[in-house]
Chains A and B, each alone.
Chain A
Amino acid sequence: LAKTTQPISMDSYEGQEVNITCSHNNIATNDYITWYQQFPSQGPRFIIQGYKTKVTNEVASLFIPADRKSSTLSLPRVSLSDTAVYYCLVDTYSSASKIIFGSGTRLSIRP
């Protein structure tokens, strides 16, 4: 099982860059790395996904080293609205029963 490990919580301030690292030592060749964001009383929402190297979209960047045993979600210039729980997910649907969401990282942004 490609279990993930993330920090339980992080604090930052508005305007700062926030990096959340996820460890996934047992990642398999076919696994992708996906990050989700969850606000209270809502379902998770997709942020970004990658397989290797770097991926960037309009809200975040994802850095994946060559060994793929970890990944880092980077949120540039965070605002109060980025306060949420962030989940790192490693999965492939060839083994969908093994999809595991960890406990996530609770990110708190302060003014």
Chain B
Amino acid sequence: DAGITQSPRYKITETGRQVTLMCHQTWSHSYMFWYRQDLGHGLRLIYYSAAADITDKGEVPDGYVVSRSKTENFPLTLESATRSQTSVYFCASSESETGGETQYFGPGTRLLVL
């Protein structure tokens, strides 16, 4: 099924463990984004990517690592998870490099760090 998917949908981990959240899109969109949304709050941009092998920091990048070796995949890694990283993580993609393009969001990954 075409679209943007995230895996896992739910994840429980422990403090200090490494966790990787996966994001896959089938549209060949240039831009991809990772956001986190804490309970009762809006979305905050963690990292984004303008194309394969091009990534850059968003508002809250500390503690996260991203890579984009293929256009369709944009994994987000928490190198050493902390309780403050308990959140819902959304991946999004967008078609164009120009301003004002719609972002298409995945269903989210709920991460709990114990």
- Chain B min CB distance to A29 (Å): 10
A interface residues, how many (CB within 8 angstroms): 26
Known: A43-B92, A101-B35. A49 touches B100 (CB 8 A): yes
B residues neighboring A (CB under 8 Å): 31, 33, 35, 41-45, 48, 50, 56-59, 90, 92, 94, 96-108
In the complex, number of A-B residue pairs with CB atoms less than 8 Å apart: 74
The answer on a CB contact under 8 Å between A91 and B42 is: no
A residues neighboring B (CB under 8 Å): 30-32, 34, 36, 41-46, 49, 51, 87, 91-94, 96-97, 99-104
Alpha-carbon distance A91/B97, docked complex (angstroms): 12
- Set of chain B residues within 8 Å of A103, measured between Cβ atoms: 41-42
The answer on a CB contact under 8 Å between B100 and A43 is: no
Closest 3 CB pairs of A and B: A43-B105, A32-B100, A92-B99
